[in-house]
Amino acid sequence: MSDARTSEARTDLARLAVPGLIWGTSFYFIAEGLKAFPAIMITPMRIGLGFATLAFVPAARMRLPREAWPRLFLLGLIWMAVPLTMFPFAGERVASSVSGMLNGAIPLFVATVATLVYKRRPSRSQLYGLAVGFGGVVLIALPTLDDGSSSAIGLLLIFIALACYGFALDLAAPLQREYGALPVLWNTQLVAFVLTAPFGLVKVGDVEFAWKPFLMIVAMGVFGTALAYVAMAANAGRFGSTRASVTTYLIPVVSLILGAVILDEAVEIVSVLGCAVTLWGAYLAGRAATN
């Protein structure tokens, strides 16, 4: 391979990796943000910052027709408002690395919703991938369940968030094909901010302001809730949505490393094994679905 082609291949690999690397930091940022801000405030802060950042991207500001707004409202609720609220509350109860590792199961929840709700019959290979993946989810969660009822509630909140993603991504796909990924995202963030901001305002008096947690939330909003989506949309246009989606496999890995190395979280070997099994199952289910 020539030097030019090698350089191009490395550039393409970096482009594919960027969204997953950014999203993988979100759970670390949430953990830091919780040191100064109530959980209910973190969601409107990150969404508002993401919305404001995307406002500088001309492609995102396209005005969408009135008939799209009922679906945009529902999408804002189940793609942004509810799941992004669940994660900070879960972060008060379980380690950030556990939240991140469980996010590797998002493709499994998407496939399960498509099967159970939308009656899309899976192939035998896809069912095998789902079984393997959910077996990994159990392995991730098992050590956390030993920590008591609070941790169990944290896991439940994460599963609610992942189930929301299962419904949301199926709803988002046709909207994004019709109107474009970034306009749908920007308008969905507007809906989610309007829905979550009143709850956050109630808790302003409980803030124990510190610069580091604040800057962590700013970074999560600007990069994770805005620019990573821009990069993902660009990758989907350049490489196709299937190849671009491989970036999501980095999310649990980055979260695990940050939780263990920077936050000094205790990470059980069983959970790490479960993370690998979950990602393998998600890969198998995704490959079967595209064949």
Per DSSP, the residues of 67-83 read: GGHHHHHHHIIIIIIHH
Each residue of 37-59: pLDDT tens digit? 999 999 999 999 999 999 999 99
* pLDDT confidence of residue 13: 84
Whether the predicted model's global pTM rises above the 0.85 cut = yes
Each residue of 181-204: pLDDT tens digit? 999 999 999 999 999 999 999 999
Each residue of 16-25: pLDDT tens digit? 899 999 999 9
Is there a contact between 271 and 140 (Cβ–Cβ < 8 Å)? yes
Q: Given a cut of 70, is residue 119 above it in pLDDT? A: no
Q: What whole-number distance in Å separates Cα of residue 291 and Cα of residue 288?
A: 5
Would you state the structure tokens that stand for residue 151, as one six-digit string? 């941790």
Confidence band of 289 (pLDDT split at 50, 70, 90): low
Among 35-44, 138-147, 155-164, 216-225, the least confident range: 138-147
Each residue of 208-242: pLDDT tens digit? 999 999 999 999 999 999 999 999 888 887 877 66
Q: What whole-number distance in Å separates Cα of residue 245 and Cα of residue 235?
A: 9
Q: What whole-number distance in Å separates Cα of residue 1 and Cα of residue 64?
A: 46
